[in-house]
Amino acid sequence: MRAPVSHRFVRLLAALGLAGALLLPALAAPARAAGEKLVLRVGTTQDLDSINPYQTLLVTGYEAFELTYNLLVDFGPDLEPIPGFADKWERAADGKSWKFHIRTGMKWSDGTPATAQDACYSWGLAVVAIKADAHIGAGYLDPGLKDAGVTKVECPDDQTMIAYTTDASDRILQTYLTIIPRHIWGAKDYKAIGEAKFEAPLVGTGPYTLAEWKTSQYARFVRNPNYWGKQGAADEVVIQFFKSADTMVQALKAGEIDYARGPNADQLKALQNQPNVKTVVGSANGWTQLAFNGYGASNGKTIKGGGPSTKALLDPAFRDALGYAVDKKVLVDRVLGGFGDVGNTIVPPVLGQWHVEPDHPRTFDIELAKQKLDAAGYKLDGEGRRLDKEGKPISLRVFLPDTNDSDPKVAQFVKDWYGQLGVKVTTQVRDSATLGNIVLPPEAGKDYTANYDIELWGWAGNPDPNALLQIFKCDAIGSSSDSQYCNPEFDKMYEAQTAATTAAERKTILATMQNLIYDQAVYDILYYDANLVAYRTDRFGGWQNQPTANGTPLFSYGSINYTLLTDATAVPSPTPTVSSTPAPSPVPGSSATPAPTPVPSGSGGTGGGGGDNTALYVGILVAVLAAAGVGLALVMRRRKGTPREEE
C-alpha cells in the first residue's frame, strides 16, 4: 500500500533532476567559438554610482568615464603625459598659455567629427564654474583646472585649443577633466551638466564606450570603431560588480572573470598558487590615518556640545607622544596580512618623486611614549589614568567607518596601545555619511559640532600631491579637514610649491611641508594601503601595471592599459601556465612574492583549490545532517509549526 503522494514526490524529483542534467552541458567551460566576441570581464567589489563624470564619487565611475571619453592629455604607463583628445601641445614662449592641437579626422563613436569645439565646451564649463567660485556636480573634476591656474580657453579653429594660465607648472597636463561631446551636451551650462542624466549608450572618443549599465550588476562597454588609437584585443569590456570579494574570487578561479579588483590578503595569498592567475600588490595613492581633532588650536575657539573632549589633543607634544605607542609594522602584518606599507608622511610613496621620509621618525616604544607624556605634563593619577592639564582623566573617542573590516581591527590595537599609556579609548562605528558629518565643525553650518576626538579613516589622492595637501589648509576647515588643523605657514608653503617653476624647488618645499605635518603629529598616518589585484592570463595577455613600479593594470589612470591587452588564445601557446604567459615579466616590488612559501591558509594540501575541499565539505555536510537527522529522529515525537517569515 503505497501512498500516491510519494509517487508524485518521486516524479517531481525526477523532473527536477532531469532539468538539472539538461543544464549541465550549458555550463561547460566557455571555449570561444570562431567569430564569437572576445569579452574582457572585470570584477570589482565596488559598485558604480553614476555614469555622469561630474557626479561619480567612486573609482569604478572614473573607470567608466575614462574608457568612454578621453582626457585632453592622457596618462602613460608611468603617468607621463601622452596624447589623449589632443595629440600635441606646447607652451607659449611667455609661459602664459598652452596650445593644444586636436588631431585631425577624429570622430566620436557616433560618427560625428570630434573637434576643438568639444574641448573648448568641456573645459569652458569648468572655467565658468571656477569664475563663479562654484563647482560642477560633485565638484571633483573642475578643481584640477583651478589648480592648474586656467583662466580662459579659446578655440580659434577646429584643430586648436588655447588655454590661458597663471600657473608656472605643467599641472595643466594632469587635469582629470574629460572631453564630452558638444553636439550632445552643448545646451547645458555648468550647473545643468552636473545634474544631467547620462544614459547608456554613451557617445565618446575613448577605446570602449559604455553601452549598457545594469545598476549593481554590470556595465558593458563596446569597442569604439572610431577610436583614434591602437585598438585593444577585447571586443567588449564588462565590469561586473560583486557584493563580496569571496564570490568575485570564486568567479576568477572559475574563469568567469579575467580580472578581480580587491581580493583580501588571505584570498590573494591563496590565488598565488592558482594556475593561470597572477597577483599584483599595488601601492594605493592614499593612506589610513588617525586624525586628531585639534579644533581651536589656532584660534582658541570652542564648540558648545562638541569639539575635542580634552585640550591635550590641541598639544603637538601630546599627539607626538601617542605616535610612539603605535606599532605600525604590527598593523600591516596583522591587519593587512603583510600587504601595505608602514605610514609616515602625507605624500604617499607611490608619488615617488614627491615623497620624503620624515627627518625625525617616531619608532614604536611604549616606555618612551610614557616618558614623553610625563615630560609634556600629562601625569598618571593613582588609578593609572593619564590626566590632562585640567586634571581630568583623558578618554578619547575614536570614530571609524563601517565600510571595511580592517578599521575595527586597527581600532582594537590602538585601544590596547593607548590603554598601556593610561589613555582610555572608546570606539564608535558609523556609516561613512554619518561619520563625514560628525567630523564637520560649525564652519560647515550651524548644525555641525565636530564632536569627536580621533577619526580613524583614510584618503586617496590624485597623481598630483596637491589633492592630499589641501586637506591640511586652513580653508579646509568646514569641508575636508578632519584634523581642524590650521597653520598659515603651511598655507604659505602650499601656495609657494604650487607656484614653483622647477621640480627640485617644489620638492624642497614639499619636503618641509611633509615634515611639518609629521612633526606636529596632526595625523598619525598608520599605513599606506595596498591595492590587491588578481588577473587571469589564459584569455588575455599584455597586462601591465600603471605606474609600472607599483601600480595595478586596471583602475589606475586613463585608459591605455585596456588597449595594451592582447588575445592570449590567439597565440598558439601549448601550455598556458603562469610561467609561459606573454604577460610582462614581474616588476621588482610590484608583484607578490613568487610563492615558494606555503600559504598559511587553505586545506593544508599543496593544490589549494576549492576542489580539494569539496570532498571534505560534502563529508562534513553529510555527516552533520545524518547525525542531526538520526538524533532528531530518535527524540522526535511530534511537532507543529509556525510560518517562517522572511529573513
Partner 1 sequence: MSVAPVAPVVPVDVRGVRWRLRLRNAHEFARRYAGRRDGVVGAAVLLLFAVLAIAPHLFVGPLQTVTTATGAALEPPSSAHLLGTDEVGRDMLNLTVHGARVSMVIGLLATLITILLGAVIGIVSGFLGGRSDQVLMRLTDFFLVLPTFVLAIVLAPIILDIVGTDAEFFGIRATLFVIIVVIGLTSWASTARIIRSQTLSVKERMFVDRARVIGGSRAHIMRRHILPNVVNLIVANTVLTFAGAIFTETTLSFIGLGDPFAPSWGQLLNAAQESGAPGLGAWWYIVPPAFCVVVVILAFTLVGNALDDVLNPKSATR
Partner 2 sequence: MSARYLARQSAQAIFTILMIVLLNFLLFRMMPGSPDRVNPRNPNVTAEQREAAKARWGLDQPLIPDQLVAFVGSTLQGDLGYSMKFQGQPVLKVIGDRFMPTVLLIGLAELIAIVLGLALGAYTGWRRGGMADRIGNGLSLILYSMPYFVIGMPLIIIFAAGLGWFPTSGMLTAGASYAGPGQFLADLLAHLVLPLATISLGLIGGYSILMRSSITETRAEDYIATARAKGLPDGKILRSHAIPNALLPAVTLIAINLGYVVGGAITAEIVFNWPGLGTLTVDALNSRDYPVLQGIFLLLGVSVVLANFVADIVYGYLDPRVRQ
Q: Does residue 364 interact with partner 1 by CB under 8 A?
A: no
DSSP-derived 3-state class of residue 153: strand
Q: Work out which of 94, 390, 405, 447 binds partner 1, going by CB under 8 A.
A: 405
Q: What cell numbers appear for 603 in the block?
A: 586545506
Which stretch, 22-30, 107-115, 328-336, 377-385, contacts partner 2 (CB under 8 A)? 22-30
Which stretch, 69-77, 238-246, 383-391, 505-513, contacts partner 2 (CB under 8 A)? 238-246
Q: How far is CA 416 from CA 255, 331, 399, 411, 423, in A?
A: 43, 12, 16, 9, 9
Sign, Cα dihedral of 351, 352, 354, 357: positive
Tell me, residue by residue from 154 to 193, as one string, x for binding to partner 1 by CB under 8 A and - for no binding.
----------------------------------------
Q: How far is CA 613 from CA 10, 187, 245, 246, 575, in A?
A: 31, 60, 19, 15, 26
* 44/591 with CB nearer partner 2: 44
Q: Does residue 230 interact with partner 1 by CB under 8 A?
A: no
Q: Does residue 288 interact with partner 1 by CB under 8 A?
A: no
Q: What cell numbers appear for 490 in the block?
A: 603651511
* 253/319 with CB nearer partner 1: 253
* 26/34 with CB nearer partner 2: 26
Specify the residue for cell string 577624429: 106
560 with 546: CB under 8 angstroms? yes
603 with 616: CB under 8 angstroms? yes
Determine if the peptide bond prior to 358 is cis (ω within 30°): no
* 24/433 with CB nearer partner 1: 433
Q: Can you give the C-alpha Rg of the chain in angstroms?
A: 28
Which stretch, 16-24, 128-136, 207-215, 263-271, contacts partner 1 (CB under 8 A)? 263-271
Q: Work out which of 110, 170, 212, 519 binds partner 2, going by CB under 8 A.
A: 212
> For residues 570-629, which are near partner 2 according to CB under 8 A?
610-611, 613-614, 617-618, 621, 625, 628-629
Q: How far is CA 271 from CA 250, 549, 582, in A?
A: 10, 21, 19
Q: Does residue 364 interact with partner 2 by CB under 8 A?
A: no
> For residues 407-426, which are near partner 1 according to CB under 8 A?
408-409, 412-413, 416, 426
Q: What cell numbers appear for 512 in the block?
A: 618641509
Q: What cell numbers appear for 429 in the block?
A: 562605528
Annotate 152-180 with b (16+ C-beta within 10 A) or e (fewer). Answer: ebebeeebbbbbebebebebbbbbbbbbb
- State in angstroms the smallest separation of the CB of 553 from partner 2: 19
Q: Work out which of 202, 219, 270, 369 binds partner 1, going by CB under 8 A.
A: 270
Distance CA 293, CA 642 (A): 53
Tell me, residue by residue from 410 to 449, as one string, x for binding to partner 2 by CB under 8 A and - for no binding.
--------------------xx-xx-xx-xx--xxx----
Residue 586 gets which letter from DSSP? P
Q: Work out which of 427, 520, 545, 550 binds partner 1, going by CB under 8 A.
A: 427
- State in angstroms the smallest separation of the CB of 565 from partner 2: 16
Within its chain, how far is the Cα of 96 from the centroid?
35
Instruction: List residues near partner 1 by CB under 8 A.
Output: 244-247, 249-250, 253, 263-264, 266-267, 270, 334-335, 337, 397, 402, 405, 408-409, 412-413, 416, 426-431, 434, 600-604, 610, 612-613, 616-617, 620, 624, 628, 631-632, 634-637, 639-640, 642, 645-647
